Amino acid sequence: MSSRVAVPKRKFGWTGVGVPIIGQGTWQINQGSHKDKMQAIKALQLGLDLGLAHIDTAEMYGNGQAEEIVAEAIAGRRDEVFLVSKVLPSNASYEGTLKACKRSLKRLKTDWLDLYLLHWPSSYPIRETMRAMEKLVDDGLIRFFGVSNFDVADLQEAEQALSKHRIVCNQVLYSLDQRGIERQLLPYCTEQQIAIVGYSPFGHGNFPSSNSQQGKVLADIGKRHGNRTPRQVALNYLVRHPNVFSIPKASNPQHTRENAESAIGWSLSEQDIAVIDRTFPIGDDISLQMI
Ligand SMILES: NC(=O)c1ccc[n+]([C@@H]2O[C@H](COP(=O)([O-])OP(=O)(O)OC[C@H]3O[C@@H](n4cnc5c(N)ncnc54)[C@H](OP(=O)(O)O)[C@@H]3O)[C@@H](O)[C@H]2O)c1
């Protein structure tokens, strides 16, 4: 096993459960050759070694193939993982949600999920999906449930549809270029003790290049903190709020290591944060990216 570095944890919403502030995404890990997939499995396992124990997947990713790859990566290590999957909105009727969860559990070769999310707002009544989520908790198939790509109004509707359990998480787009959640959604979720998990922290591969003005700002800040990379600066910035977690996807083990070390033993100064705030100005409230 690789040398352990401590990726910090923080309490996940109202649960009191400590979850690493940086996790691992899995969208598109099923793509490429067999060798690429084996490398993606190695990257996930290295991530676990380094404490990136929050693994995010979905029935949608590769039509279930990403979940099967995750199953290989976590075999024999299930207890180390905070495992998250998502139901597709097109499956999110009451019965459909129960069935989708059982299919995900089978592909993931586990008896339970730590967190199950509705991937984005569905045309099925939210009360049906929430009723199914409550049943899955009662049956011990999931520990917690939440939503993804929900704005404040969607969230309030979902909260009102519940009868005995609470939403713990809203997973939303959050990157340097997409800071809209900071306006209303982040304050609302923080008040309600709903964890924000930010996805696509590197813009789904569209990260400022090293010769752009924005890239140079990040590089300068990184240099002043012991040669941190621009992406490490970005991740450190994105998890600066105590209610935010981030789930970069890396299939290259070097990237995984770099991401794990982004939030260990250092933090940005107030001045650095002000510079990044100005370089990446806040945009609209929430940008729904339905993937
Ligand atoms: N709920 C939703 O609707 C939703 C939507 C989008 C994403 N997500 C979740 O969020 C996760 C992350 O978002 P994402 O996959 O869209 O994109 P991302 O994490 O913003 O970017 C992934 C890309 O960045 C590269 N990368 C990662 N670490 C790097 C590093 N240290 N240096 C250089 N390049 C690096 C990866 O390359 P390699 O793979 O080659 O290492 C990959 O090409 C997804 O995988 C998924 O689990 C959820």
The CATH number assigned to the domain with range 14-209+238-264 reads 3.20.20.100
pLDDT given for residue 205 in this prediction? 86
CA distances from 256 to 77, 85, 119 (A): 18, 20, 24
- In contact, 28 and 270? CB cutoff 8 Å: no
Helix (H) or strand (E) holding 167: strand 167-173
- Name residue 270's beta-bridge partners: none
Pairing of strands 24-25, 82-87: unpaired
CA nearest ligand 1 atom 44, residue? 25
- Name residue 147's beta-bridge partners: 118, 170
Average pLDDT for consecutive 10-residue bins of the chain (291 residues)? Answer: 71 98 96 92 97 98 97 98 98 98 98 98 98 98 98 98 97 97 97 98 94 97 97 98 98 96 93 98 61 40
Residue ranges of domains in the chain: 14-209+238-264
CA nearest ligand 1 atom 29, residue? 255
Sheet containing 113-118: which strands, arranged edge to edge?
Answer: 24-25, 54-56, 82-87, 113-118, 142-148, 167-173, 195-199, 244-246
Taking residue 131's Cβ as centre, other Cβ atoms within 10 Å add up to: 17
pLDDT given for residue 30 in this prediction? 86
pLDDT given for residue 287 in this prediction? 53
- In contact, 7 and 24? CB cutoff 8 Å: no
pLDDT given for residue 290 in this prediction? 43
- Tell me, using a 6 A CB cutoff, whether residue 252 lines ligand 1: yes
The model carries a pTM of: 0.96
Nearest atom within ligand 1 for CA of residue 117: 1
d(CA 246, CA 217): 21
pLDDT given for residue 98 in this prediction? 98
**pLDDT digit string (tens) for 56-75?**
999 999 999 999 999 999 99
CA distances from 214 to 177, 205, 276 (A): 10, 15, 9
**pLDDT digit string (tens) for 185-207?**
999 999 999 999 999 999 998 99
CA distances from 275 to 43, 164, 240, 268, 270 (A): 32, 44, 14, 11, 9
CA nearest ligand 1 atom 13, residue? 200
CA of 205 to the centre of ligand 1 (A): 7
Residue 175: phi and psi, rounded to 5, are: -140, 180
CA of 201 to the centre of ligand 1 (A): 7
**pLDDT digit string (tens) for 159-189?**
999 999 999 999 999 999 999 999 999 999 9
CA nearest ligand 1 atom 36, residue? 250
CA nearest ligand 1 atom 5, residue? 291
Nearest atom within ligand 1 for CA of residue 175: 20
Residues making up the chain, counted from first to last? 291
| Residue listed under structure tokens 């729904």 | 288
- Tell me, using a 6 A CB cutoff, whether residue 85 lines ligand 1: no
Angle of CA points 260, 265, 269, to nearest 5°: 110
Non-local CB neighbours of 251 within 8 Å, separated by 6+ positions: 29, 36, 39, 40, 43
| Residue listed under structure tokens 């609209």 | 284
